[in-house]
Structure 1
Amino acid sequence: MAAPETENKYAIHEAARDGRTQVVESLLNANPKLDKVVDQDERLAIHWACAFNHLDIVKLLASTRSFDPDVQDGSGWTPLMIASSLKENSGEVVVELLLSKEADPKIVTNTGATALHFAVSKGNLEICKILLEHGASARTKDKRGQLPIHRAAAVGSVPILKLLVENKSPVNATDMDGMTPLHHAISEGHAHVAVELLKAGAEIDKKDRDGRLAIECAPDNKVRSYIVKAAEREGIELD
């Protein structure tokens, strides 16, 4: 006895999530339009395949005639964004595949974030490089006014910070809280990142919305002392 239609409605999404390639293929052969079915999370099967890093299923879905590499879910996430946000650069191959299908790295979510914002947040240096090579911008602000470099400073990644600076990211841009990347780096205790920002031209006299200088955001004297001493060695005055 066949299961009710409601139980089978999202079968392709479940198969894509679970990595069952043959099931996805069989479902598509039976009904090619299933790749356009939106589930309760407003996602297509391709979104779930990317979220769980099932490369074979991504390849299968990306080879359909009607494949749209820039399709967005209910939050505005594209498959590229999802793959870019997987931990430890694990989505790199999927990212490259989607870009080969002309996925657009400049698209933004409902919160204004790009694939680059997400890759930076997860510390995915290699994916950041790939996205920038394919036209991603280091100068796009999300709706909180944050550039990818704000996120690099907050997560404490010097390599990504340097990469973004090389790609013309503003160093002294402020977000909606008036915080510069330097404010974020120091607030999170990333003294080494703060020093790199100072070397890149970060301004020390900018105040956030609460009137605080970046150095005043240091969580403890150890972080503050490290920054002050390192700045002195670089010939940068903080006073």
Structure 2
Amino acid sequence: MEGSVSNVEVCNLAYTGQFEELKQCILSDKTLACKTDQDQRTALHWACSAGHTDIVQFLLDLGVEVNLQDDIALLLLENGADPNATDKLESTPLHRASAKGNYRLILLLLKQSASTNIQDSQGNTPLHLACDEERVEAAKLLVEHGASIYIENKEEKTPLQIAKGSLGNLLRRIVEG
């Protein structure tokens, strides 16, 4: 273990980009994917900080619990990750941040030119999700950055139709200027 960054082997493999070894390690014991080291960091943290997007993708595909925290997202974006990359449901970090109302992360993604109108497998844009969860500040921010209130999802509903009461009025006011 001389000269390693972490006391957990799988974290070191993630940091040094040893994808094959990491894959074998984790496939033989799935619990390693979520194991934290002495600093409470996981293999995902280490892969992000070193910019190993192949390992990051592998861990995300395994369904590693991502608490899409601002620092992980920032590390990924700083290391050239695509802010519009999608998961299995075709949703982007912006979809997830919007549903959770994570204002700081939404702002960060928008600064990195994340697309506000990408639709997931259900046809929802990040704005649909923000409206559905009544995330007023998130919805306002998205519309101010060009999110359309008129795109229909697969149920033929627009964000405006999903927005309840005062939120709908607020979004209409922003769009109409």
> How much identity, in percent, do the aligned residues show?
22
Corresponding residue of 1:205: 150
Q: Does 1:57 align with 2:7?
A: yes
User: Displacement of 1:226 after TM fit?
Assistant: 3.4
Q: Does 1:105 align with 2:50?
A: no
Q: Does 1:237 align with 2:176?
A: yes
Distance change >3 Å, CA 62–CA 112, structure 1 → 2: closer
Contact 2:99/2:129, CA 8 A, preserved across alignment: yes
Contact 1:92/1:126, CA 8 A, preserved across alignment: no
Match of 2:128 among 179, 183, 187: 183
Task: Give unmatched runs, 5+ long, in structure 1.
Answer: 1-24, 26-54
Contact 2:51/2:76, CA 8 A, preserved across alignment: no
What stretches of structure 1 move > 4 A for 4+ residues in a row? 97-100, 110-115
Corresponding residue of 2:73: 128
Distance change >3 Å, CA 213–CA 94, structure 1 → 2: closer
Q: Distance in 1 between matches of 2:17 and 2:167?
A: 52
Structure 2 letter corresponding to 1:181: P
Q: Distance in 2 between matches of 1:191 and 1:175?
A: 21
Contact 1:185/1:193, CA 8 A, preserved across alignment: yes
Q: Does 1:228 align with 2:169?
A: yes
User: Displacement of 1:67 after TM fit?
Assistant: 7.8
SS in 2 for 1:226: helix
Q: What number of residue pairs does the alignment pair up?
A: 162
Q: Does 1:173 align with 2:118?
A: yes
Corresponding residue of 1:36: none
Structure 2 letter corresponding to 1:226: L
Larger CA Rg, structure 1 vs 2: 1
**Which structure has the higher relative contact order (CA within 8 Å, separation 6+)?**
2
Distance change >3 Å, CA 94–CA 140, structure 1 → 2: closer
Task: Give unmatched runs, 5+ long, in structure 2.
Answer: none
Corresponding residue of 1:152: 97
- CA RMSD, 1 decimal: 3.8
Q: Distance in 1 between matches of 2:62 and 2:44?
A: 19
Corresponding residue of 1:68: 18
Q: Distance in 2 between matches of 1:144 and 1:60?
A: 27
User: Normalising by the residue count of structure 1, what TM-score does the alignment of the two structures yield?
Assistant: 0.55
User: Normalising by the residue count of structure 2, what TM-score does the alignment of the two structures yield?
Assistant: 0.71
User: Displacement of 1:62 after TM fit?
Assistant: 2.3
